[in-house]
């Protein structure tokens, strides 16, 4: 039986006293994502008080329940609205949203687009398992054409979103993608997303072998892991390939990294240049940026 000193360093970030094991199915990719997230936070040397985890509804959205950080478990599709409020009220915090393909791009689709457009300094870890795993396996905005779901027993007819291209079109300055097979790469990409002072999307291709896999002839977790291994190509390798060679393969790595001021940085400048001088002209409103932010928020 290992002692506390034998446990991995990420163990310190798990919520003490929380009943484990978790709610996820055996072999679920969400465990890989949680571990990569905790490793990324540990790699960056962040304290628990510097991080806020926010999630909506779904299998992946249970992650903040197990992690010992400031956290908010919100309504379906609304995680980014809560995260925006936290970031504006506490701009020095690392605000991280854990969400799924349905939570973020279906009911939460407009919030996703406008948070990217505004360039709110939030890291979004979007776990894409091609279906609504928690509520029964319905097809989602990312279910591939022809793949079966409980609400598409003969195959999905709708063209799916490419979430990274959706984020690019909305104006996100940092976009990365990985899979739960590439756990080390995923850790590094999450760390880069957290460090980026801008809206940062880390799209994680995961799996739901319990429902999506079972309905599509991949009923075991190792079946789906092998599929991810065989169907992913790095962005560096993809740059040397033709579109025909890439085909439907998943491109992983940093897909976009632009230097743009975040909304918080622009708002601070706006305050100091436009609002603060006017307040300084009075005797009753001679307040600092920090005091003003507390007053406004």
> What confidence tens digit (pLDDT) does each residue in 116-141 have?
999 999 999 999 999 999 999 999 99
115 and 84 Cβ atoms separated by less than 8 Å:
yes
Q: Identify the residue with better confidence: 282 or 212.
A: 212
> How many whole angstroms separate alpha carbon 196 and alpha carbon 95?
11
Residue 225 half-sphere exposure toward CB, CA atoms < 13 A: 12
Q: For residue 123, which phi and psi values (nearest 5 degrees)? A: -100, 120
Residue (of 60, 59, 48, 53) closest to 10 by Cα position: 48
Residue (of 149, 77, 148, 85) closest to 107 by Cα position: 77
Two tokens, residue 263:
């909304």
Q: For residue 202, which phi and psi values (nearest 5 degrees)? A: -115, 105
Two tokens, residue 60:
């992946």
Two tokens, residue 159:
């063209």
> How many whole angstroms separate alpha carbon 206 and alpha carbon 134?
14
Residue 278 confidence (pLDDT): 72
Angle subtended by helix axes 183-195 and 30-44, to nearest 10: 50
Whole-number average pLDDT of the chain: 90
Residue 283 confidence (pLDDT): 45
Q: Would you list the domain boundaries of the chain?
A: 4-260, 263-297
pLDDT band at residue 147 using 50, 70 and 90 as cut-offs: very high
Residue 101 confidence (pLDDT): 95
Over residues 279-292, the pLDDT tens digits come to: 765 544 455 556 66
Q: 134 vs 39, 152, 174, 214, CA distance in Å?
A: 26, 16, 29, 15
For domain 4-260, say whether CATH 3.60.15.10 is its number.
Answer: no
Provide the terminal-to-terminal Cα distance of the chain, rounded to the nearest Å. Answer: 49
The string of DSSP codes covering 134-196 is: TTT-EE-TTPPTT--BTTBTT---SPPP-HHHHHHHHT-SEEEEEETT-HHHHHHHHHHHHHS
pTM of the model: 0.90
């Amino acid at each position: 039986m290992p002692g506390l000193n034998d446990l991995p360093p990420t163990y310190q970030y798990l919520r003490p006293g929380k009943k484990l094991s978790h709610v996820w199915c055996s072999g679920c990719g969400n465990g890989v994502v949680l571990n990569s997230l905790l490793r990324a936070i540990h790699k960056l040397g962040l304290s628990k008080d510097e991080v806020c985890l926010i999630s909506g509804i779904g299998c992946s959205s249970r992650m903040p329940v197990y992690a010992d950080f400031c956290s908010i478990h919100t309504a379906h599709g609304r995680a980014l609205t809560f995260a925006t409020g936290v970031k504006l009220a506490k701009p020095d915090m690392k605000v991280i949203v854990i969400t799924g393909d349905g939570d973020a791009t279906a009911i939460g689709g407009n919030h996703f687009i406008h948070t990217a457009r505004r360039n709110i300094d939030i890291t979004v870890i979007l776990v894409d398992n091609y279906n609504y795993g928690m509520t029964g396996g319905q097809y989602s905005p990312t279910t591939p054409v022809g793949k079966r779901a409980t609400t598409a027993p003969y195959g999905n007819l709708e063209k799916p979103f490419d979430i990274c291209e959706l984020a690019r079109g909305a104006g996100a300055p940092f976009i990365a993608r990985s899979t739960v097979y590439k756990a080390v790469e995923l850790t590094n990409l999450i760390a880069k997303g957290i460090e980026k002072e801008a809206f940062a999307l880390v799209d994680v291709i995961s799996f739901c072998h319990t429902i999506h896999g079972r309905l599509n002839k991949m009923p075991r977790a190792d079946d789906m892991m092998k599929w991810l291994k065989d169907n992913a190509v790095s962005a560096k390798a993809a740059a040397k390939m033709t579109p025909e060679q890439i085909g439907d393969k998943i491109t992983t790595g940093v897909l976009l990294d632009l230097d743009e001021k975040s909304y918080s940085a622009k708002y601070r400048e706006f305050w100091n240049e436009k609002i603060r001088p006017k307040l300084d002209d009075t005797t009753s409103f001679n307040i600092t940026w920090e005091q003003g932010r507390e007053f406004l928020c």
